[in-house]
Amino acid sequence: MTLWYEPTKTGEWLRRIFSFANLLILFMTITLMVSELRFDWCELMIGRYLASLNGSRPETGAVWKAGEQSSRAHTFLKRIIEERQNAARYAQEATSFAELASGVLPGQWANIDKDHFKRLYLAIPATAASELIPPEELIWLFGGGTLNRIFCEGKPYGLEIFFLNSENRVLRQITLNKSKMEKIEKHEAIFKGTLEQIPEFQGRIYPAEHFFKVLLALPQDIIPDLITTPQKLLNQQGTLTKAGIWNEATSGYIKLGFEFKENGKSVVLFIRAREWAVWRLSSNLTGTSLKGDPQ
């Protein structure tokens, strides 16, 4: 049975089949398909859409995993290098063997300059220095021509110091006991009495107030070279009454003395300050020593 909307004549069928709308739809469909096959615009559209989302997508997959492994390795190695660099910096800036031993932690290592080692060695009392390594041995090590570098390895008790030749062979090994060095330096750092009782400070003793006024007026970058171990002074009980400057330099350092009074008793603490910074301080302290002697 012919439906009410269907034509009854063949001509009418053909006219409807090949109507403009049908032909247009057909043409557009074919055009879309052919153009897609020819120009791949679907792929390009999807690719462009995905590219726009790239930044917000997760980093998953084999290639990112390999990247994570590289990243972990890089982090691990970076940590080792940073520790090494820190230890090297502490070693370079150490002003005493105790500081050197504190700066190079167990498991770390650092090279130390020959001249720097000499300065630290000469700064400790002769008996302690001899115990560490006899001076005649050190003379031969330094002067004999085979010593290439000095290598410090951090240990729980302090440091092992290795004197190496160019083939990394240990010529001599010495043990630096941190607590022993600290005791030596502390002993060296305290005098029970007043500044006036120490001849080496004669003519260079100042009231603490004036000393610190002048010191604090110096440029900020100089002060750490003067008060190299502030914790010593901070830990001391009592009132700071006077300060003095030692009369000679040793290995680039000059001793400063700080007199503390507590319960009627006086003690003098010593700090090693950089020579050039002391000269700068001294020139500003001119004409104002405790005894009133001109400088």
Partner 1 sequence: MKLLTILIRLTRFLIYASLAIGSVVMLIITIVIFSAAKDLPKLPEPLSRIIETPKTEIYASTGERLITLGGREPVPLSRVSPDFINAMLAVEDHMFWDHHGINKLRTLKALYITLTRPGRIEGASTITQQLAKNLFFSFERTYLRKFKEMMVAFQIEYSCTKEEILHAYINQISFGAGAQGVEKASQVFFGKSAVELTLGEAALLAGLPKSPTNYNPYRHYDKALKRRQVVIARMREAGYITENEAQEALRSRPLLHSEHADARTGSYFLDALINELVEQYGNDVVFHGGIRVTATVDSNLQYAGDQALKNGLERLDALMGLKPDAEPRPQGALVAIDPASGAVRAMIGGRDYYNSEYNRAINSRRQPGSGFKPFLYYTALEKLNFNGATVMVDSPISIPVIGSSTWEPRNFEKSYRGRMLLKQALTDSVNTIAARLVEKTGPRAVIDTAKLCGITSKLEDVYSVALGTSSVTPFEMASAYSTLASGGIRHEPFMIWRVEDAFGRVIYEHLVRGRKVLDPETTYQVVDMMKSVIDRGSGRTVREMGFTRPAAGKTGTTDSYNDAWFTGFTPNLCTAIWTGFDRNRKLKRSSQPGITGGRIASTIWAEFMGEAMKNEPSRDFSIPDGIHFEQADVTSGCSASQSSSVLTVPLKKNQHLCENPQY
Q: Three-state DSSP class for 120?
A: helix
Provide the minimum distance between the beta carbon of 150 and partner 1 in the complex, in angstroms, as a whole number: 12
Give the x-and-dash track for 231-250 against partner 1 (CB under 8 A).
--------------------
Provide the minimum distance between the beta carbon of 120 and partner 1 in the complex, in angstroms, as a whole number: 21
User: Using the rule CB under 8 A, is 10 a contact of partner 1?
Assistant: yes
Structure tokens at 125: 């009392």
Distance separating alpha carbons of residues 113 and 117, to the nearest angstrom: 6
Site size toward partner 1 (CB under 8 A) is: 47
Cα→Cα distances 78→70, 71, 75, 142, 256, Å:
12, 10, 5, 34, 41
Structure tokens at 15: 């006219």
Provide the minimum distance between the beta carbon of 14 and partner 1 in the complex, in angstroms, as a whole number: 10
Cα radius of gyration rounded to whole Å, the chain: 41
Among 11, 20, 21, 48, binds partner 1 (CB under 8 A): 48
For residue 256, the surrounding DSSP H or E stretch is strand 253-262
User: Using the rule CB under 8 A, is 166 a contact of partner 1?
Assistant: no
Among 173, 179, 250, 295, binds partner 1 (CB under 8 A): 173
List binders of partner 1 among 104-163 (CB under 8 A). 151, 162
Among 2, 220, 231, 235, binds partner 1 (CB under 8 A): 2
Provide the minimum distance between the beta carbon of 142 and partner 1 in the complex, in angstroms, as a whole number: 19
Give the x-and-dash track for 12-31 against partner 1 (CB under 8 A).
-x---x--------------
Burial 206-218 (b: 16+ CB within 10 A, else e): beeeebeebbeee
List binders of partner 1 among 174-213 (CB under 8 A). none
Distance separating alpha carbons of residues 242 and 175, to the nearest angstrom: 38
Provide the minimum distance between the beta carbon of 151 and partner 1 in the complex, in angstroms, as a whole number: 7
Contact between 257 and 199 under an 8 Å Cβ cutoff? The reply is no
List binders of partner 1 among 50-109 (CB under 8 A). 50-51, 53-64, 66-67, 69-70, 72-74, 76-77, 80-81, 84
- 164 vs 195, which CB is nearer to partner 1? 164
97 contacts: CB under 8 Å, gap ≥ 6: 120, 121, 124, 132, 176, 181, 185
175 contacts: CB under 8 Å, gap ≥ 6: 157, 158, 159, 160, 161
- 152 vs 269, which CB is nearer to partner 1? 152
- Which residues contact partner 1 by CB under 8 A? 2, 6, 10, 13, 17, 37, 40, 43-44, 46-51, 53-64, 66-67, 69-70, 72-74, 76-77, 80-81, 84, 151, 162, 164, 167-170, 173
